């Protein structure tokens, strides 16, 4: 049996899928869409990714909010199995399976958003998988279409893991550019700086041998910690290219709509409102880094003073507080 791809919530630090970041048209699209005309005192809604899941997630929403119950039952129908049974009372192993984890986190996040009592967002962002939840929140994707894409994404990533085994490592206490320098020094293997989670918290991704070579070099370079993570693939790296090719067909066949507010996408950390550019950036995310630190800093620069996380856990709240302790996090 193949090893399931898994995510990891690592001590207040969100480790998800990652990749290298070539300067290509996706970055140009985001750069050219950025406007300086933002107000101050704006609300940003953020959505977590794989790794924030836990047994029992969403049950309070299901029990107490009819709209959430209806959404969960619709998801059960679309997925063809009762994923809520696993979410509410399954085992950790069952929940960690990618085909379960990704839809479960997505469903919980959207349901939490739907029952929230906060005003509508001025901007949204999602960490890796969370970008799909953010796209539903801003109206760029319907819940049904986004759920089917999340399922296709999970299946494609699992297949890519089986085709090309890889892994990831957490790096703490080392500057981003130094992490990238060490990764670039590894020859003959794929190793990239992947998740930029907060100041001094980066995840790298690549082949098993490449990560094994990088970890001691990162420690020598001054990292406080550099340790391999218990994941089954090199997420957000060039090794996910087979997944991007598989997911591309599903994304191309899905209707994207004009969002009600800008979404700060992982590949460029800048606001986007053009549906076609959003579509391209969402696909590029599989093989590009999650630029979360940069996204949060840009949202703050554009006027965000309040951040609200919707989804299981409080991983993003903790990261945002580390990135900028001055903003309000709820």
- Show which residues are catalytic: 128, 236
Burial classification of residue 53, based on how many CB atoms lie within 10 Å of its CB (0-12 exposed, 13-18 middle, 19 or more buried): buried
Distance, first Cα to last Cα, the chain: 42
The sign of the dihedral angle between the CA atoms of 38, 39, 40, 42 is negative
| Half-sphere exposure at residue 25, Cβ-oriented, CA atoms within 13 angstroms | 7
List of residues 6+ apart from 193 with CB closer than 8 A: 18, 20, 176, 179, 180, 183, 202, 204, 289
Tokens linked to 277? 């550019």
List of residues 6+ apart from 83 with CB closer than 8 A: 75, 76, 100, 103, 104, 107
Whose CA is closest to 302, among 257, 276, 272? 272
């Amino acid at each position: 049996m193949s090893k399931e791809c898994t995510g990891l919530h690592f001590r207040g630090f969100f480790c998800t899928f990652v990749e290298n970041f070539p300067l290509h048209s996706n970055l140009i699209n985001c750069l050219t869409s950025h406007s300086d005309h933002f107000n101050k005192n704006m609300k940003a809604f953020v959505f977590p990714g794989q790794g924030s899941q836990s047994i029992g997630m969403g049950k309070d929403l299901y029990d107490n909010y009819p709209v959430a119950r209806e959404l969960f039952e619709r998801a059960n129908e679309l997925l063809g199995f009762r994923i809520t049974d696993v979410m509410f009372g399954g085992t950790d192993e069952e929940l960690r399976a990618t085909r379960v984890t990704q839809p479960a986190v997505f469903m919980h996040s959207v349901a939490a958003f739907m029952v929230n009592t906060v005003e509508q967002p001025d901007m949204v962002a999602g960490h890796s998988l969370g970008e799909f939840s953010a796209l539903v929140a801003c109206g760029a994707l319907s819940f049904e279409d986004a759920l089917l894409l999340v399922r296709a994404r999970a299946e494609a990533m699992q297949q890519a893991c089986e085709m090309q085994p890889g892994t990831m490592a957490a790096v703490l206490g080392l500057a981003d550019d130094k992490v990238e320098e060490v990764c670039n020094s590894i020859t003959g293997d794929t190793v990239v700086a992947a998740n930029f989670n907060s100041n001094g918290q980066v995840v790298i991704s690549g082949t098993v041998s490449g990560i094994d070579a990088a970890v001691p070099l990162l420690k020598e370079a001054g990292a406080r910690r550099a340790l391999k993570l218990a994941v089954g693939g090199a997420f957000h790296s060039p090794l996910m290219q087979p997944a991007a090719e598989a997911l591309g067909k599903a994304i191309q066949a899905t209707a994207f709509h004009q969002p009600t507010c800008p979404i700060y996408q992982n590949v460029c950390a800048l606001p986007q409102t053009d549906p076609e550019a959003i579509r391209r950036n969402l696909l590029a995310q599989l093989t590009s880094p999650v630029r979360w630190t940069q996204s949060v800093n840009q949202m703050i620069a554009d006027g965000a003073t309040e951040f609200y996380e919707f989804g299981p856990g409080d991983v993003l709240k903790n990261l945002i507080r580390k990135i900028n302790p001055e903003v309000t996090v709820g």
